[in-house]
Chains A and B, each alone.
Chain A
Amino acid sequence: MLNKLTALVIALTLGATLCASEATAKTFYWISHGSPADPVWTYFLAGAQQWATDTGNQVNTSFHNGDVAAQQETVRIAIAAGAAGIVTSSPDPGSLVQVTEEANELGIPIVNMNTPDPTANFDAYVGGDLIDYGRQWAQYLVDKKLVKTGDFVWLPVEVMGATYGVLEEQGIASVFEPLGITWEVTDATLDQGEVITRMVDYMTANYDKVDAIIGLGDLVTGSIKRVFDQSGIAPGEIPVVGWGNSLDTTQEVLLGYVNAAQWQDPQATSYMALTLAAMAASGIPPGFDITTGALYEADQAQIYDDILSGK
């Protein structure tokens, strides 16, 4: 038995050694707090893969579904492996402070993307300003006279407590609170089927109460058409704003289900974040952040629909 076992180990090791010999010169780590089931992260990932193809560097990618401990562990794996650079989103405010310091100490560039965390000492941030996005969405509803004092706005989100929702709600609160507009955040989960079920249930129970909807994530905003169709709500009957990084949402904007949607340039975010990390690894420190994003309505939606369709 031991002989067979030894042979198995040797065979696996030989295979592993052959694989290892094909390694490329520079390895970067792209670490997401998101879920591979979240469509927008597919576009972020595509940007990272495109960068790897264009530059010839290796990019090791991983998703962590909001699990802070697992994400911290992966950042430390990248540090232990002597990564040329690390690009990571932030799962919770303050949760990457320590690991960022560890990367700083070893001179490994670490760039924050998608969800900012000013408490951690990242080399740069690439992405949107989530508080500002929230403020823009709320202000859009107010400016277009879609909500007024005393109204109620529903804020579905995929992961309650995740950084993006927390920061966006802060921005929304800064507009709604002074105007006496109330709101409620509800948990929709990251499972598409469950998202639709929960949102339909909520609309069924609160149809008379909801004056507008702000989708705090791509999955929930991209589910609006299916939720409205299933609940018998006509396009435009309830104003909707929110994220717009998926084909579902661009179509919803074109069809009138969603009034305005936020484009975050997901592929560009990953691409630019890796570029900054590579630049820092070459000794040119990025002394700036890169802000991405645009709020688009039906007249601009086709542009983003084409990008997401690969046209």
Chain B
Amino acid sequence: MPSFVKRLISKPEFGPFVLLLAMVFIFWELNPAFLSLRNISNTLAFTVELGLIALAMTLLMTSGEFDLSVGSLFGFSPVLMWTLYNTGIASIEISFAIALATALGIGLISGLFVTRLKIPSFLVTLGMLLVVRGTALYVTNGFPQRTWNAKDLPLAQLLVGDFTVAGLRLHMSLLWFIAAAVLLSILLTRTKTGNWIQASGGNANAARARGVDVNRTKIKLFMLSAAMAGFAGVISSIRTAAANPNSGTGYELEVIAMVVIGGTALTGGRGTIIGTVFGIFILRLMRNGIVLIGVPGLAYNIFIGTIILAMMALHSWLDRRHQEGG
């Protein structure tokens, strides 16, 4: 086997890449509309919104922690922003800044609880999930905030304005996603911070002994994760014309699944942004394809669960082959 092929196969992203290709091929065979320009455009719109959260979650999970409050922040941040704007308290730009600053603050609190009080991130962020979701419901009395005319605002154009490339309708959020993926990939693989993140997740005590500020690194990642969730929520609220306090329910588990399917270790120490990008597309395209081929609504979760299990089994098999040098 040529050496470049061996090198390619040995990469951790190879497994998810093969899975993604196989899935695209199968769904395309079942329904050619799967690869139509309209469906690709449709898929990219929502995929990158969840993808932004997954990118930040990759770094956090690489450092050995995870954040269950991202789904509630996805709902809370736009609700806060549109409440401030709709009630005339602040301009849309100031409201946006306040919403992101609040998300950063929530991430900071989660990070401090985890690192200073030594409480597992599972428990801290589960509590934060309830606090944030509850706050969104309480502040709004459960009512959605109106965002119907938002698309004409300059900020909305910047965040989620659409444009057409070769017949493909795309949103600005795709460019934000690509920029975030490139920057975070460089951060993780080519900078000292990236080494610190991996060291914090691999062996925190050894990392501390070598001068890595593990706590500070993790706190920053909690803040990044929260801010990205808030940012994604704002983008989604403008695109979908809906800022509902219930938005993002269950997204936390979907995002974690995307990261793990992409090849990042659930236990920390090893992470890959490129793999996460594959994981994001695997899960979202799977949901898209299942609807397209007409799986019954009540059987939807059976298929999703079965495919995830099958993918994880195939991923594990490919990984073992890789470890054995096969």
Contact = CB atoms under 8 A, between A and B. Distances in A.
B244 A5 contact: no
B88 to A, nearest CB: 20
Interface stretch (B42-50, B95-103, B105-113, B183-191): B42-50
B321 A80 contact: no
Contacts of B297: 30, 32, 36, 45, 61-63
Contact of A161 (B9, B25, B137, B146): B137
B249 A65 contact: yes
B296 A61 contact: yes
Interface string A1-42: 100010011001100110110000001001010001000000
B180 interface: no
A20 B294 CA distance: 10
Contacts of B43: 73
Contact of B236 (A16, A69, A92, A157): A69
Contact of A80 (B26, B39, B241): B39
A290 interface: no
Nearest to B36: A80
Nearest to B50: A69
Given A63-B300, A77-B291, A12 B22 contact: yes
Interface string B237-267: 0011110111101100000000000000000
Interface stretch (A94-102, A224-232, A273-281): A94-102
Interface residues of A, number: 53
B249 A97 contact: no
B249 A58 contact: no
Nearest to B75: A161
B205 interface: no
Contacts of B170: none
A16 B242 CA distance: 37
A74 B291 contact: yes
Contact of B249 (A60, A63, A67, A119): A67
Nearest to A58: B294
Contacts of A80: 33, 36, 38-39, 42, 292
Contacts of A68: 240, 242, 244, 247
Contacts of A82: 33
Contacts of B9: 1
A45 B46 contact: no
Nearest to B147: A94
B202 interface: no
B89 interface: no
Interface residues of B, number: 50
A94 B26 contact: no
Contacts of B247: 67-69
Contacts of A45: 297-298
A242 B296 CA distance: 30
B306 interface: no
B322 to A, nearest CB: 9
A1 B244 contact: no
Nearest to A162: B246
A5 B18 contact: yes
Nearest to B40: A80
Interface string A153-179: 000010111100110000000000000
Interface in B282-320: 287-288, 291-298, 300, 318
B140 interface: yes
A66 B36 contact: no
A20 B31 contact: yes
B26 A13 contact: yes
Contact of B142 (A17, A20, A70, A165): A165
B161 interface: no
Given A20-B30, A79-B38, A187 B137 contact: yes
Contacts of A98: 241
A119 B291 CA distance: 26
B143 interface: yes
Contact of B29 (A17, A58, A72): A17
Given A65-B249, A92-B144, A73 B46 contact: yes
28 contacts: A1-B321, A1-B326, A9-B26, A13-B26, A20-B30, A30-B297, A36-B298, A45-B298, A60-B294, A62-B291, A62-B300, A63-B297, A63-B300, A68-B242, A68-B247, A69-B240, A73-B288, A74-B291, A77-B288, A78-B291, A79-B38, A79-B42, A81-B292, A91-B242, A94-B241, A157-B142, A162-B246, A166-B143
Interface of A: 1, 5, 8-9, 12-13, 16-17, 19-20, 27, 30, 32, 36, 45, 58, 60-63, 65-70, 72-74, 76-82, 91-95, 97-98, 119, 157, 159-162, 165-166, 185, 187
Interface of B: 9, 18, 22, 25-26, 29-31, 33, 36, 38-39, 42-43, 45-46, 49, 137, 140-144, 146, 148, 236, 239-242, 244-247, 249-250, 287-288, 291-298, 300, 318, 321, 326
